[in-house]
Amino acid sequence: MRISDKFEELKSRNEGALISYICAGDPSTELTKSAVKALIKGGADIIELGLPFSDPCADGPVIQSATDRAISAGMTPERYFELVSTLQVDVPLVCMTYYNIIYKRGIKKFIEDCSSSGITGIIVPDLPVEESDELGLACAKNKVDLIFLVAPTTNENRLHKILDKSTGFLYMVSRTGVTGGSTDIGTDIADLLTGIKKCTDIPIAVGFGISNRNQVADIISYGAEGVIAGSAFVDIIASGKNVEHRLESLACDLKSGCRE
Amino acid sequence: MNKSKYGIYGGQYVPEILMPALQELEDEYSRYRNDPQFQQDLNYYLRDFAGRETPLYHAKNLSRKYKTKIYLKREDLVHGGAHKLNNTLGQALLAKYMGKKRIIAETGAGQHGTATSMAGANLNLDTLIYMGAKDVVRQKMNVYRMEILGARVKAVESGSKTLKDAINEALRDWVTNVDTTHYLIGSVVGPHPYPMIVRDFQSIIGKEVKEQIMQKEGRYPDSIIACAGGGSNAMGIFYPFIENKDVSMFAVEAGGSGMELTSKAALHSASMCTGEVGVLHGACTKVLQNQNGQILESHSISAGLDYSGVGPELAYLADTGRINPCHVSDEEALNAFHEMSRLEGIIPALESSHALAYVMIKAESGELGDLVVINLSGRGDKDLETVIKAGKWKGGNI
């Protein structure tokens, strides 16, 4: 399913999107499969599936540990695409990985593999818009959305450059820092959102430090089309306790914030 | 060519949050690099605080033994015991001019961390050093040195708990505190403009050599030899000679305990010699990695060369044939360490011992020519424990 279709569908229902991140192969491909099912059952609209990299410099400790567990358990790009192609789901699947993983496989091949396995969008946190031409071309050719991040530090000039190249949705980073922890959802986020929305019609999803329903409700009320939560789900997987059930109920709770 | 690139290498592969900071750094650096006041301040610190210029010393005994006229560029005499301070003074001063209150840095063995702590203390900057938890244990003395100088040292527990993880953690700090903080990178690595800035600050080494060798010999050397991990001392001595095509240049990487790879680690740190093109720590360069693109842990007896990547400009110069990448093993470097100490009365750093070893191995082949300059990038006092542990003690009964 294409990301834009999902946002259209949600718009007609007047709902925000819940985008849920987990790391593929953490701690096993079997668990990833059941975790994806649980997240969708709980209400996740888009699944962001991390393809682990040894040096994830944009991630906080929770996702770093997930990455280490997944690599130790044998996750590779080859196995990742196998896993993705076995997921029988009717929500968009987005790949999150670092640029070296893509570069090493070959940009063209990587994106073709995304396309043929069922990935319809890709997020590369260490690839700024200036370095993205080659990947952007391959994505366009294979109908894979290339999703860029904007940050509180992004100035207007850069924002326009990023918007020019963005497809799918725009990933708005809620604060300076790495993934995880907790973010106070305040007026600065509202201002940032308002500023970006003036310049674009592309859906905006806010991520970094999102873990509870109130945050989600605030972000949606400020005008975002979606939220991204990752570390909160990964924490549950790391605990190893009652994982599927707790993933489902957290997704359900966050999704309820998208409907308020 | 894009100004941030060296051929296909270099660039800026960092999270969006940092892009404006890199732009700011580039703008401010181009504003101050030729500013007379900045230059005057920097020259003052380099002369009166760091002890420049450093001598170009004719190593008579070494020359006699290897039948080649060998000069040593004595960066071991820079305050702190290595060339690292050339860069940290430059960047700390730049941070000061930029109005930053806080500097952070990564360190492997602790040499760059120490040099950063010295500059930070002197220029009144709040200083935090990230160091892999394994390195904190291995290099306890340097941790004390940094702490005595007033810096805080944070042990990094993630990943392989070594230099590459310390860089990741420093990047994470910078992403979080980008408004107040300057990230003081210690080598010619990382996203543009760092490889350029660090090269420029280290180029003082090569500039001095150019004048000194002219005075002493009336000509440029046939070859220049420097060790290369990230490659800052190599770029520093090579760069002013790039256009002098008659001067051969050799970048000696750490061959470690063997040239093999496993799926998780390399037994060496020879990324120019054996690495593949990849993206690490913000730059496209030659990287030690497995077939899936995961970065491999590297190895060298010399902590300062123990890194999975290399500066992008060095990777480019190697591709174009302007410099010759090569490698020597842990054992060869240890032998050179002892030979140099006994022949010349200078204890070299294990890093610099790699450059010395290459000359000792190659001198008689004639490949290096008759007049050779070696960058003696640091002194070896810090390495005594490592040498003893390696079972290579030649200092009598202890």
Contact A55 B293 (CB under 8 A): no
Give the tokens for residue A260.
Answer: 């308020």
Task: State residue B263's pLDDT score.
Answer: 81
Which whole number is the average pLDDT over B197-215?
A: 98
Q: Do A154 and B276 touch (CB under 8 A)?
A: no
In chain B, which residues have their Cβ closer than 8 Å to the Cβ of A161?
A: none
| pLDDT tens, residue by residue, A203-253 | 999 999 999 999 999 999 999 999 999 999 999 999 999 999 999 999 999
A2 three-state secondary structure = coil
* A101/B175 Cβ within 8 A: no
Question: In A, which residues are within 8 Å of B179 by CB distance?
Answer: 176
Smallest Cα distance from B295 to chain A, Å: 6
Residues of A in contact with B294 (CB under 8 A): 53-54, 71, 101
The beta-carbon neighbor of A178 closest among B21, B176, B282 is B176
* Catalytic (active site) residue B106: yes
- Determine the distance in angstroms separating the CA of B334 from the nearest CA of chain A, rounded to an integer: 31
* Contact check, Cβ <8 Å, B15/A151: yes
Q: What is the mean pLDDT of residues A19-46?
A: 98
Contacts with B18 from chain A: Cβ below 8 Å: 153
DSSP, collapsed to helix, strand or coil, labels residue B4 as: coil
pLDDT classification of B396: cutoffs 50, 70, 90? low
Q: Which of A60, A151, A177 has the CB atom closest to B16's CB atom?
A: A151
Pick A76's closest partner by Cβ from B21, B178, B292: B292
The one catalytic residue among B26, B28, B106, B332: B106
Question: What pLDDT does residue A221 have?
Answer: 96
Does the distance separating the beta carbons of B176 and A148 come in below 8 Å? no
A104–B16 C-beta distance less than 8 A: no
Q: How much is the average pLDDT of A28-32? A: 98
Indicate the residue of A56, A64, A151 with minimum beta-carbon distance to B17: A151
What is the mean predicted confidence (pLDDT) over B179-185?
96
**For residues A60 and A181, is the Cβ–Cβ distance under 8 A?**
yes
Of the residues A15, A26, A45, A59, only one is catalytic, namely: A59
Contact criterion met (CB below 8 Å) for B267 and B347 = no
Residue B202 has pLDDT above 90, yes or no: yes
Averaged pLDDT for residues A149-171 = 96
Q: What pLDDT does A182 receive?
A: 84
* Yes or no, beta carbons of A71 and B282 under 8 Å apart: no
Q: Tell me the chain B residues in contact with residue A127 when contact means C-beta distances shorter than 8 Å.
A: 13
Q: Is residue B4 annotated as part of the catalytic site, yes or no?
A: no
Q: Nearest CA to CA, how far is B170 from chain A (Å)?
A: 9
Q: State yes or no: pLDDT of B393 exceeds 70.
A: no
User: Are the beta carbons of A176 and B179 separated by less than 8 Å?
Assistant: yes
Both tokens of A3, joined, read: 């990301």
A75-89, A130-144, B157-171: least confident range: B157-171
For residue B14, give the nearest of A55, A128, A154 by CB distance. A128
Contacts of B100 (CB under 8 A, 6+ apart): B125, B180, B181, B182
Give the residue among A195, A259, A204, A201 at the shortest CA–CA distance from A228: A204
Three-state secondary-structure class, residue B120: helix
For chain A, what is the mean pLDDT? 96
Q: What is the 3-state secondary structure (H, E, C) of B313-333?
A: HHHHHHHHCCCEEEEEEHHHH
Residue B220 forms contact with A (CB below 8 Å): no
Q: If pLDDT is split at 50, 70 and 90, which confidence band does B367 have?
A: very high
Q: What is the mean pLDDT of residues B246-259?
A: 96
Q: What share of chain A is helix, strand, coil (3-state, %, to 5)?
A: 50, 15, 35
Nearest residue to B3 (alpha-carbon basis) of B291, B325, B216, B312? B312
The mean pLDDT value for B179-205 works out to 97
Q: Given A61, A130, A173, which is nearest B17 (Cβ)?
A: A173
Q: Quick one: pLDDT at residue B160? A: 84
Mean pLDDT in chain B? 95
Paired sense of beta strands A149-150 and A170-173, if any = parallel
Question: Percentage of residues in chain A with pLDDT exceeding 70?
Answer: 100
Q: Dump the DSSP string for A138-188.
A: HHHHTT-EEEPEE-TT--HHHHHHHHHH--S-EEEESSSS-SSS-----HH
Mean pLDDT in residue range B11-19: 96
Flag whether pLDDT at B397 surpasses 60.
no
Q: Is B133 on the interface with A (CB under 8 A)?
A: no
B339 touches chain A (CB under 8 A): no
Confidence band, pLDDT 50/70/90 cuts, at residue A80: very high
Q: Give the residue, B134 or B86, on which the prediction is more confident.
A: B86
Q: What is the pLDDT of residue B395?
A: 65
Question: How confident is the model at residue A185, as a pLDDT?
Answer: 87
Q: Which residues of A touch B (CB under 8 A)?
A: 53-58, 60-61, 64-65, 68, 71, 76-78, 98-105, 125-128, 130-131, 148-155, 158, 162, 173, 176-178
Contacts of B16 in chain A (CB under 8 A): 125, 128, 148-151, 153-154, 158, 162, 173
Looking at the predicted structure, is the pLDDT value of residue B261 above 90?
A: no
The nearest alpha carbon in chain A to B294 belongs to A54
CA distance B183 to A133: 28
* Percent of chain B surpassing pLDDT 70: 98
Q: Which of A231, A226, A153 is nearest to A192 (CA)?
A: A153
Residue-wise burial string across A47-80, b where 16 or more C-beta atoms lie within 10 A, e elsewhere: bbbbbbbbbbbbbbbbbbbbbbbbbeeebbbebb
CA nearest to A149 within chain B: B16
Residue B120 structure tokens: 């930070």
Q: DSSP readout, A234-245? A: HHHHHHTSSHHH
- Mean pLDDT along residues A13-19: 97
State how far residue B293 is from chain A, nearest Cα, in angstroms.
5
Angle, helix A243-258 to helix A231-239, in steps of 10 degrees:
160
Judge whether A203 and A17 are in contact, CB under 8 Å.
Answer: yes
User: Do residues B46 and B84 lie in contact, with contact meaning Cβ atoms separated by under 8 Å?
Assistant: no
Crossing angle (nearest 10°) for helices A29-42 and A231-239: 130
Q: Is the dihedral of CA B329, B330, B331, B337 positive or negative?
A: positive
Say whether pLDDT at B78 is over 70. yes
Evaluate if residue A183 carries a pLDDT over 90: no
B317-323 average pLDDT score: 98
Confidence bin at B392 (pLDDT 50/70/90): low
Is the model's pLDDT at A10 over the cut of 70?
yes
Q: Which of B314, B301, B367, B378 is nearest to B340 (CA)?
A: B378
B12 CB neighbours in chain A (<8 A) are 128, 130-131
**pLDDT confidence band for A71 (50 / 70 / 90):** very high
Q: Reply yes or no on whether the pLDDT at B398 is more than 80.
A: no
pLDDT greater than 70 at residue B52:
yes
pLDDT band at A181 (very low <50, low <70, confident <90, very high): confident
Interchain contact, B13 vs A125, CB within 8 Å: no
Q: For the residues B41-70, what does the mean pLDDT come to?
A: 98
Q: Cα separation of B313 and B317, whole Å? A: 6
Residues A228 and A210: beta-carbon distance below 8 Å: yes
Q: How far apart are CA A244 and CA A253, in angstroms?
A: 14
Could you say which of A58, A100, A151 has the minimum Cβ distance to residue B278?
A: A100
Give B152's DSSP letter: E
Helix (H) or strand (E) holding B201: helix B194-202
How far apart, in whole angstroms, are the C-alpha atoms of residue A165 and residue A150? Answer: 12
Do the Cβ atoms of A103 and B279 come within 8 Å?
yes
Q: Report phi then psi at A209, rounded to 5.
A: 75, 25
